[in-house]
Chains A and B, each alone.
Chain A
Amino acid sequence: MIINFKGAKTYLGTGGKSLDINKRTLCFLHGSGQNHLSFIQQARFFAYKGYSVIVPDMPAHGFSDGNPCKSIKENAEWINDLLVKLNLKDVVVIGHSQGCLVALELNRILKNSLEALIFVAGSNEIPVNQFLLDLSKENPQKASQMMVTWGHGIDGDMSINKWPGHSHYGEGNNIMCMNKPKALNCDLNSCNDYSDGIYAAKNIKVPALAVLARNDQMTPLKSGLKFVELIENCETHILDCGHFLPSERPMELNSIINSFLSKLK
């Protein structure tokens, strides 16, 4: 659905169902240079399981207009304001990659009032090399292509996809091309500059789940494992795939999330 939020057209994926504020809401937060289409196989799945689902296109991403947020904190404040506007209270936040950093900051703003946090291919820090930062400014399309290649495991190289006929690389490149040109550079700088992750992770008091990828080259497994150690009682799973876990292992991820959600009050 499209809403006018903070003076800009803002798109929220709802998984093909209407948003019902009386239900538990799963709020999916996409990664750098991504948009709601990162969660093609999660949004509809959970909406049809009876949850309310929102997958916002952050400003300047996907179908949303506006200027991109310039820091992780700004992203988190934007999401917080969105949840207030939509009057959503019973919320589980699921972040992928950069979305995990935003989820960490959002939890700090909301003082652990979220129902749960789910981190997919995440960490408490996502440093970005200078080459990619520069390239994302000079040639965001080329930077996107490189990220799509690095981000996928062997399924990307070999054009293996759970969705018949779909290509991770072809689809991934075009999803990233849907964003406004400045969005990727702002996202990568936001990730690179964010340094409060350790404190935010240690501060988590709500149920937490982390699903990490063994062959992740964007947020390496080693970094993800250090991250989950910071969180008290974080249920952790590792899947054999690359960074784009939601599209590489959709069924396994959905099953793990579903099982985790069923254990929440």
Chain B
Amino acid sequence: MSENYKFDTLSLHAGHIPDKETGSRAVPIYQTTSYVFNSTEEAASLYNMEVGGHLYTRISNPTVAALEQRLAALEGGASALACSSGMAAMHLVVSAICSSGDHIVASSKMYGANINLLQHTMPRFGVNTDFVNPNDPEAIKSAIKPNTKLVFGEVIGNPGLDIMDVPEIAKICNSKNIPLVLDATFNTPYLMQPFKHGANIIVHSLTKWLGGHGIAIGGAIVNGGNFDWGDKDKFPTISGPHFALGGISFWEEFGPSALIAKIRAEGMYNFGPSLSPTNAFHLMQGIETLPLRMKKHIENTHSILDFLVNHEMVEWVKHPDLETHPDHEVAKRILPKGSGSIVVFGIKGGREAGKAFIESVQLASHLANVGDAKTLLIHPGSTTHSHLSSEAMKEGGLTDDMIRLSVGLEDINDITKDFERGFKAVKKLNK
């Protein structure tokens, strides 16, 4: 009986039913590199991509596949592929679609590593990117050239928290027959499902809210299956003949799942950024409680926003759920459950005040991660984005005094008490 299960149920169950042999309720960790073939014929079938199955864990693995199928179900995608990190996911997508001479249009307000990949690494391989303001659809439209192969952005920018108007940008991409690729790490499918708004491909850092416990690095690509790759001149890597597998055209043979088939056959095969089965298991454990955690993350975020906005030591606070945020209206429209649990704020006293605050709090951890169940803090200007020039930092919406807060699941009174400890240290410094 088909049920069309809801999000909370899929978070727990999608991708796995207890196998009849062992009855294992949890997804087993298939900690193996390879799989015994029953015959040479079966081996050939797998190598030729005649049927689905596993032949080597660099390409696919049953535990990793359960995670992939859970993500595809939660996002409403046609297929998904999990890999070693969010950056690996990003690189796999870019390298699957683009070749030397191709062009990308990307948001200028993104995570430093995303910018680095497109600004510095990919040009060495002949793929160039123009960076534009993600809140300016006309700028995106104008930046698209005949050789543009994808438009890339973050639904919620890191760390500036700009909100991309996904439906508007999707309309532009659709009219130009260019896939819209979104990093949806900060929203997770609980807060917003980009395919429903017209996006075509999603990349995730699973390390963050989806995994949610800061114990495993992982990434994923979810393919909406809603993009027509049929233009062989424009997308030869997806619809033209592949160099192996008898010159397979992934678009003709796999249709909506062409991109994932291509990445598995080439990216995973040739680059090898596979996710370990044990990490896939840890990440799935996190996803089981994603709806519960996200509710609490948002609840605590709204409480901490009230606290910070009204605090005498705080110079400014930025979060898309605040009316003062320039993208507040867009956020209300596309992220009605809340705009994530990252808050950025500046402390009166600038860089030194920020430093004193971070070094004085005890409960909140000073580290380079977000989306953990625990509250985390960092000063991007001196850490995650330190390699960017002042101009690039300004373009990305960064300031010297900015503190990035990833709101955790602790009792909100304990978080605010901890912050008061930090503010007390700043007060001493300012005297």
Please give the residue numbers on chain A whose beta carbons come within 8 Å of chain B beta carbons, in ascending order.
Answer: 11, 13, 16-17, 35, 37, 40-41, 43-45, 48, 62-63, 149-154, 156-167, 169-171, 173-175, 177-178, 215, 217, 242, 250-251, 254
Contact = CB atoms under 8 A, between A and B. Distances in A.
Nearest to A243: B2
Interface string B15-55: 11100000000000000000000000000110011111110
B256 A171 contact: yes
A153 B2 contact: yes
Contacts of B1: 154, 215, 217
Contacts of B257: 163, 166, 171
Given A157-B2, A178-B255, A167 B50 contact: no
B72 A165 contact: yes
B225 interface: yes
Given A63-B230, A156-B2, A162-B51, A167 B17 contact: no
B65 interface: yes
Contacts of A254: 51
A45 B226 contact: no
B78 A166 contact: yes
Contacts, number: 154
B77 A158 contact: no
B246 A167 contact: no
A166 B52 contact: yes
Query: Which residue, of A150, A153, A157, has the highest number of chain B Cβ atoms within 10 A?
Result: A157
Contacts of B224: 170, 174
Interface residues of B, number: 53
B5 interface: yes
B137 interface: no
A175 B52 contact: no
Given A167-B79, A170-B79, A44 B48 contact: yes
Contacts of B424: none
A159 B45 contact: no
A157 B3 contact: yes
B68 interface: yes
Contacts of B252: 11, 13, 63
Given A48-B44, A161-B52, A37 B225 contact: no
Contacts of A13: 252-253
Given A45-B51, A254-B51, A158 B245 contact: no
B4 A149 contact: yes
